[in-house]
Structure 1
Amino acid sequence: MGVFASFLVLSLLSFSASFSCGEMQPKIGVCYGELGNNLPTPSASIQLIQKLNGKRVKIYGTNPTILKSIQGTDLQISIMVPNNLIPDISTNQTLADQWVQTNVVPFYPESKIRYLLVGNEILSNPPNTTWFKLVPAMRKIRSSVKKFGLHKIKVGTPLAMDALESSFPPSNGTFRPDVREKVIRPMLHFLNRTKSFFFVDVYTYFAWVSQPLQINLDYALLQPTNITYTDPVSGLTYTNLLDQMLDALVFRHEATRVPGHSPLPRRNGLAQRRRPGPARS
């Protein structure tokens, strides 16, 4: 159990952000992976997550044992459509209906399924046609969710930071040209229309390990230091790498100009920054 506890703490340190015009409450969550040896049972895992005051859980599939173990708790859970099903679901509403009926309906609302994620970091895979089937699959799954009356479940998809071509300085954040117009823009329109969330997996470790001599470790770990970085264009001053990475997405999200869709409710640490003029709120 000690090994698992250490792994779980590391998972807590990983960051999954959701940007949206909808309500967002600050709750710590856990990414519950199932790859490994000598893992505790789902019920033991859920008990540990509760002991650590976790409030949200993301699983990389729809393991029914995990979903049953969460029943009766206050944990909100995100479940996932496997990457390999995206091409077929994108063109087949019946298949989408069957997937939701099999993997969601039997467990809801006893298991507090809050987010239904279509795929995992699809745009990080080598170029393939699945990229362009992602948003159509999200639409099909959303239609299924509505059909079965699961109105509190939001449909989205998690992206990695490599969806950006550039992230430094944050004001120069730029979505990759190979996905900008054909994937990202229609995705943002979908999220705006359905009042859903833009999910992104942000790992300061990967940024630090690629440039350990340029990035201070304490700055990457969000430790209190006197180290800051000031964006030469925006004038924003950052006190940790997480805020800096998130703002690269915020700036690009705002520049995409999807009407009515705010990138996030300004609760990602902006209060820690200093910028000339009125504060962002």
Structure 2
Amino acid sequence: MNRRITSFIFFTFIATTCQAARSRNGMDIGVCYGLLGNDLPPATQVVSLYKRCQIQKMRLHNPNHEALEALRGSQIQVTLGVPNEEIPNLANSQEAAQSWFTTNVEPYVQDIEFSYITIGNEAFPDQFGPFIGPAMHNLKNVLNEYNLHGIQVTTVVNTAVLANSYPPSAAVFTAEAASGMLDILEFLSDNGATIMVNVYPYYAYAGDPTNVRLDYAQFSAKGPVVQDGALSYSNLFDAMVDAFIWAMEKMGFPNVAVAISESGWPSAGNGIFTTPDLARTYNRNFMNHIIKSSGTPKRPNTYMDAHIFAMFNENQKPNGTQQYFGLFYPNMLPVYPIFP
């Protein structure tokens, strides 16, 4: 086939796939841009794909400068991560925090809207956990010096920091996590900042399909599945978020906002639990749930920032499901039609 005709068909297909996003004047939801692949398209093409699909937000797990250059003037809101291994350096030295900012944020801050800077990804409560609080303080001091008060400094945790989450109202943080969470939540509360949580109903379902209903995990249940006092849950995602909120409340922080740093469903890698249809159903329903700003039973009608994981399948992730969370193949064709 003629290359020009092939290109026309490709971009027509992409445009059609993203058409529903345009009709909503842009999606108020983000997509994580992971870079653990040796066959991914250039960052300029990736940013163009975000824009064609009217995806308004991007999460970068680390300050990739090719991606940051491509984002200049894009009007895409960016969540930028400090890699886990760099956290101790930022924690131990105000000068190191200044240097990180000077290298990775200052050159771009006039051309990119940074919403959050996240100190690590699931770095807590492991070896980097004790350094997260001091690193957040040091980086926040730098932002304040530059009057960049609109950029929130936070961290990303996963729901494994909960000792139990069923029912949601019984949730507490693990003993290992409790003291460190206190420091993190005090910082966030004092600064009016948001905690970011990776929430994956997929793993709960795949780990116990006998007791976790598929429709409950995929936002497809027709009515309540779990009753927790006066609160009714028809989807597992809300129950997981509320469990985290209950745990924070029990530590004395009832008002710290929650954002979803990652959520998604793999399209392959685990037999019957991972198919393109299951991935499409979850991500479409998750997207609609977030866009409606319906909140959770414990915090109804509350807006949450949220990101789907991830933009592309990444072949340098560990073997198995982690390689198949992408909405798109590296050639930028959709894995499944996420936009109905």
Q: Please give the range of the TM-score, normalised by the shorter of the 2 chains.
A: 0.7 to 0.9
Displacement, 1:224?
4.5
CA contact (8 A) 1:97 1:141 kept: yes
User: Structure 1 CA distance, aligned partners of 2:124 and 2:138?
Assistant: 19
1:139 & 1:187 partners in 2: Cα distance? Answer: 10
Aligned to 1:269: 295
Q: Deviations over 1:12-46 (max 9, x none)?
A: xxxxxxxxxxxxxx921111100023211111111
- 1:185 and 2:185 correspond: no
Q: Confirm or deny: 8 A CA contact 1:243 1:268 kept in the other structure.
A: no
CA distance in structure 2 between the partners assigned to 1:72 and 1:90 by the alignment: 31
**Is the aligned partner of 1:242 residue 2:268?**
no
CA contact (8 A) 1:124 1:162 kept: no
1:23 is aligned to none
Letter in 2 for 1:138: M
SS at match of 2:45: helix
1:125-144 matches, within 5 Å, as 125=126, 128=127, 130-144=128-142
Residue of structure 2 equivalent to 1:89: 90
Q: Mean Cα displacement is larger for which, 147-156 or 54-63?
A: 147-156
The answer to whether the 8 Å contact 2:193/2:257 transfers is: no
CA distance in 2, matches of 1:242, 1:207: 10
| d(CA) in 1 for partners of 2:255, 2:216 | 31
Cα distance, 1:84–1:262 mapped onto 2, change above 3 Å: closer
CA distance 1:83–1:263, shift in 2 (3 Å) = same
Please, which of 154, 157, 162 is the counterpart of residue 156 of structure 1?
154
The answer to whether the 8 A contact 2:196-2:258 is kept is no
Match of 2:23? none
What letter is aligned with 1:261? N
C-alpha contact 2:156 2:197 (8 A) present in aligned 1: yes
TM-superposed CA distance for 1:149, in Å, is 2.6
Aligned partner of 1:73 in structure 2 is: 74
Confirm or deny: 8 A CA contact 2:83 2:121 kept in the other structure: yes
In the alignment, structure 1 segments of 5+ residues that lack a partner are 10-25
Which structure 2 residue ranges, 5 or more long, are not aligned?
1-9, 19-26, 260-292, 303-340
Deviation at 1:60, TM superposition (A): 1.0
Offset, 1:239: 0.8
Q: Distance in 2 between matches of 1:141 and 1:268?
A: 33
Q: Which residue of 2 aligns with 1:101?
A: 102
CA RMSD of aligned residues (A): 2.6
Contact 1:58 1:79 survives alignment (8 Å) = yes
CA-CA distance at 1:225 after TM superposition: 2.8
**Contact 1:253–1:263 (CA under 8 A) maintained in structure 2:** no
- The residue type paired with residue 201 of structure 1 is N
Aligned length: 247
1:57 and 2:58 equivalent? Answer: yes
Q: CA shift at 1:109, angstroms?
A: 2.5
**TM-score under structure 2 normalisation?**
0.67
Q: Which amino acid aligns with 1:219?
A: Y
Which amino acid in structure 2 is aligned with residue 236 of structure 1?
L
Q: Distance in 1 between matches of 2:36 and 2:54?
A: 23
CA contact (8 A) 1:155 1:196 kept: yes
Choose the corresponding residue for 2:198, options 198, 201, 204: 201
**Percent identity at matched positions?**
28
For residue 114 of structure 1, give the secondary structure of its aligned residue in structure 2: strand
Q: What is the CA–CA distance in structure 2 between the aligned matches of 1:56 and 1:263, rounded to whole Å?
A: 18
Taking the aligned partners of 2:242 and 2:110, their CA distance within structure 1 comes to 35
Q: CA deviation at 1:51?
A: 2.6
Deviations 1:148-175 (A, max 9, x none): 2322211000101111111111011111
Letter in 2 for 1:69: A
Change in CA separation of 1:66 and 1:75 when aligned onto 2, cut-off 3 Å: same
Q: Distance in 1 between matches of 2:247 and 2:47?
A: 37
Structure 2 counterpart of 1:30: 31
2:213 partner amino acid: N
In 2, are the aligned partners of 1:122 and 1:159 still within 8 Å (CA)?
yes
Q: Amino acid of the residue matched to residue 134 of structure 2?
A: P
Given that 2:294 and 2:301 are in contact with CA atoms closer than 8 Å, whether structure 1 keeps it comes out as no
How far apart, CA to CA, are the structure 2 residues paired with 1:50 and 1:167? 37
